[in-house]
Amino acid sequence: MPADLDALCQSLATEATPASVAHGLVVVEVPTAGVLDMVRTLKDAHGFDMLLDVTAVDWLPREPRFDVVWHFWSTTGHVRVRVRTRVPEGDPAVVSLTSLYGSAAFMERECHEMYGIRFAGNADLRPILLYEGFVGHPLRKDYPKDREQPLVPYLTP
Partner 1 sequence: MTTSSATIPIARADGPSSAFEYITTKKDELVGWARKFSLFPYPFVTACCAMEFMAVSSTPYDTDRFGAALPRFSPRQADLLMVVGTVTHKQAPVLRKVYEQMCEPKWVMAFGVCATSGGFYQNYAAVQGIDRIIPVDVYIPGCPPRPEMVIDGIMQLQQKIATSRHPIVTERF
Partner 2 sequence: MKLPPLASLPNPVKSAFAPSAEGGPVIVNIGPSHPATHGTVQIIAELDGERVLRTDVHCGYLHRGFEKECEAHTWHNLIPYVDRLNYVSALINDFAYCDGVERLLGIEITPRCRYLRTLLSEYSRIVDHLTCIAAGLMELGAMTAFLYLVMIRDYMYEHLADLTGARVTYTYGRIGGLARDLPDGWLARLAEILDQYEVFVGRVHGLVDRNRIFIDRMRNVGVLSTADAIHYAYTGPILRSTGAPRDLRRDTPYLAYAELDFDVPVGIKGDNYDRYYVRMREMDESVHMIRQLMDMLPAGPINVADHRCTFPDKALVYTEIESLINHFKLVMDGPAVPAGDVYVAHESPNGELGFYLVSAGGGVPWKVHCRAPSFVHMGGVHRMLDGYQLADVVPTFGSVNMIGGECDR
Q: For residues 134 and 76, give the distance between their C-alpha atoms in angstroms, rounded to a whole number.
A: 41
Q: Which of 32, 47, 106, 121 binds partner 2 (CB under 8 A)?
A: 106
Please name the residue ranges forming H helices in the chain. 2-12, 35-46, 104-115
Q: Check binding of 138 to partner 2 (CB under 8 A).
A: yes
Q: Under DSSP, is residue 34 helix (H, G, I), strand (E, B) or coil?
A: helix
Pick the closer one to partner 2 by CB: 15 or 29.
29
Q: For residues 47 and 34, give the distance between their C-alpha atoms in angstroms, rounded to a whole number.
A: 19
Q: Which of 71, 89, 116, 125 binds partner 2 (CB under 8 A)?
A: 71
Q: Check binding of 89 to partner 2 (CB under 8 A).
A: no
CB under 8 Å to 84, separation ≥6 — which residues? 27, 28, 29, 30, 67, 68, 69, 70
Q: For residues 2 and 114, give the distance between their C-alpha atoms in angstroms, rounded to a whole number.
A: 35
Q: For residues 66 and 4, give the distance between their C-alpha atoms in angstroms, rounded to a whole number.
A: 30
Pick the closer one to partner 2 by CB: 33 or 89.
89
Q: Under DSSP, is residue 80 helix (H, G, I), strand (E, B) or coil?
A: strand
Q: Which of 82, 95, 99, 121 binds partner 2 (CB under 8 A)?
A: 82
Positions that interact with partner 1 (CB under 8 A): 130-131, 138, 143-152, 154-155
Pick the closer one to partner 2 by CB: 13 or 52.
52
Q: Check binding of 73 to partner 2 (CB under 8 A).
A: yes
Residues that bind partner 2 (CB under 8 A): 22-25, 49-53, 55, 57-58, 69, 71, 73, 75, 78, 80, 82, 101-103, 105-107, 110, 114, 124, 126-133, 138-139, 141, 143, 145, 151-153, 155
